[in-house]
Amino acid sequence: MRVTALLILLTALALTACSGAAGADQPLPTVVLEGGATGNVPAQTGPQFSGGDVTASGVVVSAQEARLGFPLAGTVTKVYVAEGEQVQAGDPLVELDSSDFQMQVTRAERALRELTSPAAVAAAEQAVVNAQEALDDAQDKSDSYKYHRATGEQIQNAEANLVLAQDQVDAAYDKYQKFKNNPPEDPRRAQAYTDYYAAVNARDRAQSNLNWLTGGPSESDIGLAEANLDAALAAHQEAAWYLSELKGEAIPADATGAQLAQLQQARDNLKTAQDQLGRTRLLAPIPGTITTVGIVPGEYVLPGQALVGISDVSSLQIETSDLSELDVPQVSVGQDVSIQIKALDAVIPGHVVSISPVATTLGGDVVYMTTIALDTLPEGLREGMSATVNYNP
């Protein structure tokens, strides 16, 4: 500005000199150097923008924008919005053909309904009763190996029978000794041997009976009984957990069981089917204005294809594009700024909310983008308006 004014002054002096050489006197023009009100130049009015040492150009952008598409392929059946319409978060935007997914949901619901029906609950209750009976039997079997098989009186009686049986053996043996050297066809020898053999068998049976009454099980018998008891306990617990789950009662997070796993899988299948069905409807994630609609009913879309754009015009900010690498050290997050909105002839306050850690080049210069939050939102401010940002020292 000072250079321009100096050039004007020099030009005027030159013209005056030339005129003086011609012999005609001319008045010197009045030159205004800095925005004052001298002569016929009017003073500036309205908001004042005082450019500081650090400035940058910027543009008004939305703080929240979304470009939306489907995560799956399909045919569009409905488009609920048009460009320029206002939507709220959760409003439907576009819908795909969902007949196949609806069928999957119906099947999953039917499978889960069968597993949780009154008949299924009754069967689970009966299974708990059966498991309890099996557990009781296994417990009795295991307990029986911890005690003798008979009372003390029974054991004493068996011992007495063994004594008598042994006495019969001794008597029969003595009698047989008298005739054992007789010829085999001697009836007395034959009878003595038969009596002796019968007495030995009776004694052995008495001994076996006493051994059984006083003896204990083998290690293999004990191991099998304990294994059966553990299996019965686990089966009863799983049956009880399953019944509790069907009744909506709390069960441990680590509860197990084939039926419980089947029930959980049925629930997972239903949720998966419902999630897939939900993905056939595109909903607005934020409130805002529809900026683009790139689809019509009947069109086939691919996963990830951008279809609808939304911009939240109630939340605007400034993004600068040409803050020099020489100036960026003087800028910090939280720093106050003054923003000139040229289209509105307004200056509004703001502050720096972010500085890009990555530089770009603009016309060969290294520059950084900064994001500016607006402390006030003037009426008429629109996305895309240009701005000049002065980073207040």
- The secondary structure of 255-288, three-state, reads CCCHHHHHHHHHHHHHHHHHHHHHCCEEECCCCE
Whole-number Å distance between alpha carbons of 248 and 240: 12
Residue type, 119: A
Residue-wise pLDDT tens digits, 306-341: 999 998 877 899 999 999 999 999 999 999 999 999
Number of domains in the chain: 5
Residues 262 and 119 in one domain: yes
Q: Which residue has the higher pLDDT, 144 or 92?
A: 92
Stated as kind and residue range, the H or E segment containing 94 is: strand 92-96
Q: Distance between alpha carbon 350 and the CA centroid of its chain, in Å?
A: 38
Residue 15 has pLDDT above 60, yes or no: no
CA distance 52 to 281: 51
Q: Are residues 257 and 109 in the same domain?
A: yes
Reduced to 3 states (helix: H, G, I; strand: E, B; else coil), residue 25 is coil
Q: Which residue has the tokens 């441990």?
A: 252
Least trusted range by pLDDT, from 27-41, 79-93, 246-260, 333-347: 27-41
pLDDT at 50: 53
pLDDT, mean of residues 253-262: 95
Q: For residues 121 and 269, state if they share a domain.
A: yes
The amino acid at residue 371 is T
Residue at 377 is within a domain? yes
Residues 126 and 227 both lie in one domain: yes
- Same domain? For 381 and 361 the reply is yes
- Evaluate if residue 377 carries a pLDDT over 80: yes
In CATH, what number is assigned to the domain containing residue 77? 2.40.50.100
Q: Hey, what amino acid is at 148?
A: H
- Is 27 in the same domain as 70? no
193 and 241 share one domain: no
The whole-angstrom separation of Cα 84 and Cα 392 is: 37
* Residue 17 domain boundaries: 1-45
Percent of the chain surpassing pLDDT 70: 86
Q: What would the pLDDT profile of 173-225 be if each residue is shown by its tens digit?
A: 999 999 989 998 889 999 999 999 999 999 999 998 888 788 777 788 889 99
Query: Is pLDDT of 13 > 50?
Result: no
Q: Is the pLDDT of residue 14 over 70?
A: no
- The CATH number of the domain holding residue 200 is 1.10.287
pLDDT given at position 10: 42
Residues 6+ apart with CB under 8 A from 381: 60, 316, 341, 344, 374
Clarify whether residues 230 and 320 are in a common domain. Answer: no
- Within the chain, how many helices (H) and strands (E) appear? 7, 17
Give the residue ranges of DSSP H helices in the chain. Answer: 2-21, 99-115, 118-144, 152-179, 187-214, 219-246, 258-278
The predicted pLDDT at position 326 comes to 94
Region of 91 on the Ramachandran plot (φ > 0 left; ψ -120 to 50 alpha; else beta): beta
Q: Say which residue, 82 or 52, is predicted with more confidence.
A: 82
Contact (Cβ atoms closer than 8 angstroms) between residue 70 and residue 307:
yes
Residues 6+ apart with CB under 8 A from 269: 108, 111, 112
Residues 64/289, Cβ–Cβ less than 8 Å: no
Q: Are residues 40 and 154 in the same domain?
A: no
Q: What percent of the chain has pLDDT over 90?
A: 71
